[in-house]
Structure 1
Amino acid sequence: MTEGVLLAITAGIMLGIYALPEKFTKGFQYENTWSLFFLLTMFVVPIIASMLLIEGFGEIFGEMPAELWVKMGLASFLWGIGVMMWSRAINYIGLSLGFSIFIGTVILIGSLLPFLVDGLPDTDSLVLILGGILVVLLGIVLKGRAGLLREKDEAAIAPKGSEAAGGNMTTGILIAVIGGLLATGFSYANAVGRPYLHEASQAHGNADWVTAVAVMFPIFISGGIVMTAYFGYHLSKKQAWGAFKTPAFASNFLLILFMAVFHYAASALFAFAAFKLGDSGNTVGYAIYNTACVVTAIVSGIVTKEWVSASGKAKRLLYAGVACMIIGILVIAAGN
C-alpha cells in the first residue's frame, strides 16, 4: 500500500511539472515547441516503450479486432484534440490555471461517465460522489475567478497594447474547459480496449501492469494523428518551420524530450501505482495522483512568477480553489 501511494504521488508530480520546460525554450514559437512535443510523446516514446515492455507486441496489436481499433481510435481522436487544447490553454493562462481547470473538468465529467455505463450506485455513494463533484466545480469557478482577477491586475500595470493587457484569460479558461470535456475520450478508449488487451497481454506472459502500457499505445497513436495535422497546418500558415533552425535547437530538443518522457511516464507510472494499490487503485490512487498533479502545477506556476503581479485577493481565490479541488477529489474517491 505504501509503495503504491508513493508511486501515485510521484506520477502526479511528474504530470504536474511536465510542461515546465516549455517556459525555457528559446527561439521557438508555440507551434514549434508543441509540435515537437506531441511528435515525441504521441509517437516516438510510446512506440519505443511498448516494443520494449510488451512481450508479443506484434501479435497483440496485429490480431486486435478492427472494430476495436475504430472505437478506440475515434475516442482517442477526441482526447487528442482535448490535450492539444490543453497545451494552448497553458500557453494562454499558465501552468497553474491551465492544469487545474483542465484536470478539474476531466475529473468532473469522468466521475459522471460511469453512471451512464453502470447505472447509479447506492444512495450513500451517490451522495458522496455528487457532493465531491460540486466541491470540485466550486474549485474550478474560484480558480477561474482568480485568473480573471490576475489578468485585471496585470493589465493595470502593463503598457497599453502589450500582451499582458490583451485579455486572453477568458479565452484560455474556455479552451481548458472544452479541452477537458474532450479529453474524457481517454476514459472511454481505456474502458473499451482494456478487456481484450488485458487478456491478450496475459496470454503472452506479461505482468498485469503491462496492460496499461498496451492500452496507451493505440490511444496515444490515434490521438497523435489529429495533432500532427493541426500543427503541420499551423507551422505552414505561420511560416514557423524556419524557427527549428535556431542555434538553441539542441537545448530546446532536450527540454521538450524531458516534457515528452515525463508526460508519457506519468501515465505509465500511475498505472503501475494503481496495480500496486489493488482494489483502491482506481479510486484512492486516482485521487492521490490528480491531487499531486494539481498541487505541483500550482507550485510550479508560483515559482515561475505567474502570479507575481496578482493581488492578494486573486491569490486567495486561487488557494481556495485548489483546496476545494483537493477536498472534492478525495470525497469522490471515498464515494467510489
Structure 2
Amino acid sequence: MQQLLGILFHSIGGFSSASFYVPSYLVKKWSWQTYWITMGFVSWLAMPWIGASLTTPGILEVLGQSPSSSLIQTYLFGILWGFGGLGAGLGLRYIGLSLGQSISLGLSAVVGTIVPAILDGKVGLLVTTTSGGIVVLGLLISVAGIVLCGYAGVIKDRMLTDDQKKESVKEFSIVKGYSMAILGGIMSGCMAIAINAGKPISTEAIKAGTAIVYANTPILILALGGGFTTNFVYSLIYMVRNKSYKDYGIGPSKILLRNYFMTMLSGLMWYGQFFFYGMGETKMGNFSFASWSIHMSSIIIFSNLWGLWLKEWTLVNRKTRIYLWSGIILLIISVFLIGIGNYLEGIV
C-alpha cells in the first residue's frame, strides 16, 4: 500500500522539521541572524544540490531541459516561501515552539493544500467522489486538531506570567510572535505551490533516469534557493547593522565548534523535511496535493511533543493538556483518513 509508505515518509519529514530548531538551544553567543543564515546556507543552498546530485543523473542537463517558465515560477514561489520561513522562525523565537508552530503550520496547511488543488483542477473531485469526501473529512479534522493545539497554546499563554513565559522562551513577545507566526503561515504555503510549479522539472528528471520516489528532489534546488535569497538579504542587513558577522570568529574555539556543528545539524534537519516530503508526495496518488496537509499535521504533532519535552507545558493545568493531546490525536486521525482517501481513489 503506497499510501502507507507515503505517510511514513511524511512523518519522517515532519519529525525532521519539528526538530530542526532544537539544536539552536545549544548555540551560544551568536545573534539569531548569524544562526539563521548559517543554517539556511546548509539547508537551502548546499543540501539541495547535494541531494539532487546523488539522486538525479545529469542534474545540470535536467535543469537545462526543463521549461524556463517552470524554473522561474518555482524560484519565485520559493522567494515567497522564504518570507514565510523567516516569519515562522521569528514566531518560534518570540512565542515558543508549540504555539508558534501551531499557528504558522495551521495556516500553511490551508494555503498549501487548497491552492495546488485549484491549480490542478481537482477541487471538484473532493466534493463529487467518496474518496474525495474522505480526504475533505481528513482535512477538516486536521484543521480541528490544529485549532485545539493552538487553543491549548493560547490558554497556556494566558495562564503564565511574563517571567514564567521567559523561562522557556527568553525573548517572549506576544505581539511580535503572533504577527510573525501568522505571516509566516500564509507565506509558507507557497512551498507547496513552488513544488507544484516544478512538476515539469520532475518529468525531465524521470526521463533522465531518476527513480520516481526522488523525482521531486531537483525542484528543491530552485524552491529552496528562492528561500535562501530572501533570508540572506534579511540576515545580511541585520548582520551589518549589528556587526554580528563577527560572531563567526570571536569566542572560545570550543563554543564556536559547537555552534557550527549544531547549526549544521539544524540545516540538515530542515532540508530533511522537504527531501522526505518530496518522496512522500510521489506515493499519495491522485490527491497528492493533500500531502501538504499530512506534512503540516506531522510537524505540528512532533513540534508539540518537543514542546512537552522542553517543558513548555510544565506549568499549565490538566485541562489545557487535555486540549493539547486531543488536538494531537485528531491530527493523527486526519493523516490516516487522507491516506485512506488517496488509496480509495487509486483503486476506483
| Aligned equivalent of 2:247 | 243
Give the conservation status (yes or no) of the 8 Å contact 1:86–1:102: yes
Length-normalised TM-score, structure 1: 0.85
| Aligned equivalent of 1:107 | 109
Identity %: 20
Aligned residues: 333
Matches for 1:64-143 after TM superposition, within 5 Å: 64-117=66-119, 118=121, 119-121=123-125, 122-123=127-128, 124=130, 127-143=133-149
Q: Which moved more, 1:236-245 or 1:22-31?
A: 236-245
Give the conservation status (yes or no) of the 8 Å contact 1:128–1:331: yes
| Aligned equivalent of 2:194 | 189
**Aligned-residue offset at 1:25:** 1.1
Gap change, CA 1:274 and 1:96, over 3 Å in 2: same
User: Aligned pair 1:46/2:48, yes or no?
Assistant: yes
How far, CA to CA, are the matches of 1:91 and 1:191 in structure 2?
Answer: 30
- Structure 2, unaligned runs of 5 or more: 343-348
Give the conservation status (yes or no) of the 8 Å contact 1:85–1:176: yes
| Aligned equivalent of 1:265 | 272
CA distances 1:265-316 after superposition (whole Å, capped 9, x unpaired): 23212333444x4637937866665444322211111111112222333333
Length-normalised TM-score, structure 2: 0.83
How far, CA to CA, are the matches of 1:146 and 1:259 in structure 2?
Answer: 27
**Aligned-residue offset at 1:333:** 4.7
Gap change, CA 1:165 and 1:23, over 3 Å in 2: closer
SS in 2 for 1:205: coil
CA distances 1:245-279 after superposition (whole Å, capped 9, x unpaired): 2321211111111111121123212333444x463
How far, CA to CA, are the matches of 1:43 and 1:100 in structure 2?
Answer: 27
Gap change, CA 1:165 and 1:259, over 3 Å in 2: closer
User: Aligned pair 1:211/2:218, yes or no?
Assistant: no
Gap change, CA 1:262 and 1:81, over 3 Å in 2: same
CA distances 1:142-174 after superposition (whole Å, capped 9, x unpaired): 333322332233316659x99979862354234
**Aligned-residue offset at 1:107:** 1.7
Gap change, CA 1:278 and 1:328, over 3 Å in 2: closer
**Aligned-residue offset at 1:236:** 2.1
| Aligned equivalent of 1:180 | 185
Q: Provide the aligned C-alpha RMSD in A.
A: 3.1
How far, CA to CA, are the matches of 2:133 and 2:5 in structure 1?
Answer: 31
How far, CA to CA, are the matches of 1:103 and 1:13 in structure 2?
Answer: 14
| Aligned equivalent of 1:154 | 160
How far, CA to CA, are the matches of 1:311 and 1:278 in structure 2?
Answer: 39
CA distances 1:173-222 after superposition (whole Å, capped 9, x unpaired): 3422321211121122212221x212321232222223211111111111
User: Aligned pair 1:317/2:319, yes or no?
Assistant: no
